[in-house]
């Protein structure tokens, strides 16, 4: 028979953490194991990720911690925002996302917890990581993490808030504690300036905003419905310009619709225009390092039939 867990005593980095579930937390706690989705730009060459997980599990040992990625491009808040927004679509309400892409660690930037209108929680630095979540799902409320009970004991490192602030806050959330006690409300979380595509009589002007992992596919900010306004049909060549390089690329459904080694334009799984080379690396082949401008020409008008 499993006995209820009353107290957990864990020694972490020389500190003694005492986690005693409050009666209120016990009565409101979801009977299912809480989900924590963890994302950083730490990489996995050292112990930073494991230390943060240890802090979370010492506070909420029944949690399920899922690694979103720890290979976010170093300091790239926009990439982190994109990964959070894409992945959040596929997780249920009450999922806790902890995102640590934090080039301003140790400065006056605020650590916050935000709740989206989809009922998900985000434990992040207030540096724009929530921009795309806010645009798509809306933010119900956000609070600054100032309550010492939601952090590891001081003194805190000026360079490892993932361990000292964000991980323990995620752990307390996972235990079902009232997040309103974490600190005062933040009325307007920081936002990033996000690029957008524009359409005119000649076509679409947009941007290559990122690469698709190791494959070197180009991810753009051009939505599929805007591209379809240009009138192209599957199989037709599209005149594009990436940076200062002009190319003609076929519009197809998937990689295998063109021969190996040939470029293609397709609509990716996020409903955005993407450029790739079948079993190749478009970014390497054309020297593309985001962000760069991208333009797509409008489909040429069909030529009138020749008179006999």
Structure tokens at 209: 């905003």
**Residue 224 and residue 135 in one domain:** no
Per-residue pLDDT, 196: 85
pLDDT (0 to 100) of residue 194:
87
The residue out of 157, 182, 207 marking a domain boundary is: 182
Domain total for the chain?
2
Report if residue 52 sits inside a domain. Answer: yes
8 lies in a domain? no
Among the candidates 118, 147, 182, a domain finishes at 182
Q: What is the pLDDT of residue 76?
A: 95
pLDDT of residue 301: 79
In a domain, 229, yes or no: yes
Report the distance separating Cα 169 and Cα 55, nearest Å.
10
Note down the domain range covering 219: 198-297
Is the model's pLDDT at 18 over the cut of 60?
no
Q: What is the pLDDT of residue 17?
A: 47
| pLDDT tens, residue by residue, 98-132 | 999 999 999 999 999 999 999 999 999 999 999 99
Q: Single out the residue of 275, 131, 240 nearest to residue 195, CA to CA.
A: 131
Give the DSSP letter string of 239-269: EEEETTEEEEEEE-SSGGGS-TT-EEEEE-T
Same domain, 132 and 82: yes
Digit-coded pLDDT (tens) for 74-103:
999 999 999 999 999 999 999 999 999 999
Same domain, 138 and 231: no
pTM of the predicted protein model: 0.83
In a domain, 159, yes or no: yes
- Mapped onto helix, strand or coil, the DSSP state of residue 305 is coil
Rounded mean pLDDT of the chain? Answer: 90
Contacts of 306 (CB under 8 A, 6+ apart): none
Q: Is the peptide bond before 155 cis (omega within 30 degrees of 0)?
A: yes
Say if residue 307's pLDDT is above 90: no
Asked if residue 305 has pLDDT above 80, the reply is: no
Could you tell me if 42 and 175 lie in one domain?
Answer: yes
| Same structural domain, 202 and 290 | yes
In a shared domain, residues 290 and 173? no
Instruction: Determine the average pLDDT of the residues in 9-27.
Output: 46
- E strand or H helix that includes residue 17: strand 15-19
- Which CATH number fits the domain that encloses residue 84? 3.40.50.10790
Residue 216 lies in a domain: yes
Q: How confident is the model at residue 31 (pLDDT cuts 50, 70, 90)?
A: low
Inside any domain, residue 233: yes
Shared domain check, 103 and 163: yes
ω before 300 within 30° of 0 (cis)? no
Domain boundary among 182, 206, 238: 182
Residue 168 counted as domain residue: yes
In the predicted structure, residue 303 carries a pLDDT above the cut 90: no
Q: Is the pLDDT of residue 11 over 50?
A: no
């Amino acid at each position: 028979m499993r006995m209820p867990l009353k107290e957990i005593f864990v020694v972490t980095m020389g500190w003694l953490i005492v986690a005693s579930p409050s009666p209120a937390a016990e009565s409101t706690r979801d009977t299912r194991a809480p989900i924590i989705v963890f994302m950083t730009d730490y990489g996995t060459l050292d112990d930073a990720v494991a230390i943060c997980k240890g802090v979370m599990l010492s506070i909420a040992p029944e949690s399920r911690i899922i690694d979103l990625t720890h290979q976010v491009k170093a300091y790239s808040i926009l990439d982190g925002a994109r990964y959070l927004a894409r992945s959040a679509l596929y997780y249920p309400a009450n999922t806790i996302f902890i995102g640590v892409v934090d080039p301003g660690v140790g400065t006056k930037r605020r650590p916050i917890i935000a709740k989206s209108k989809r009922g998900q929680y985000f434990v992040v630095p207030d540096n724009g990581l929530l921009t795309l979540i806010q645009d798509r799902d809306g933010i119900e409320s956000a609070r600054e993490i100032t309550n010492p009970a939601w952090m590891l004991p001081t003194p805190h490192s000026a360079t490892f808030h993932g361990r000292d602030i964000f991980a323990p806050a995620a752990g307390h959330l996972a235990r079902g504690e009232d997040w309103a006690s974490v600190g005062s409300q933040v009325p307007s979380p920081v936002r990033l300036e996000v690029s957008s595509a524009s359409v005119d009589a000649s076509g679409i002007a947009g941007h290559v905003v990122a690469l698709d992992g190791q494959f070197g596919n180009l991810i753009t900010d051009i939505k599929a419905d805007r591209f379809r306004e240009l009138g192209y049909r599957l199989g037709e060549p599209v005149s594009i310009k990436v940076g200062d390089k002009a190319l003609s690329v076929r519009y197809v459904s998937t990689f295998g619709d063109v021969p190996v080694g040939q470029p293609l334009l397709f609509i990716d799984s996020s409903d955005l225009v993407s450029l790739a080379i079948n079993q190749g690396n478009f970014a390497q082949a054309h020297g593309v390092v985001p962000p760069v401008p991208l333009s797509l020409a409008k489909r040429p008008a069909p030529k009138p039939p020749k008179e006999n």
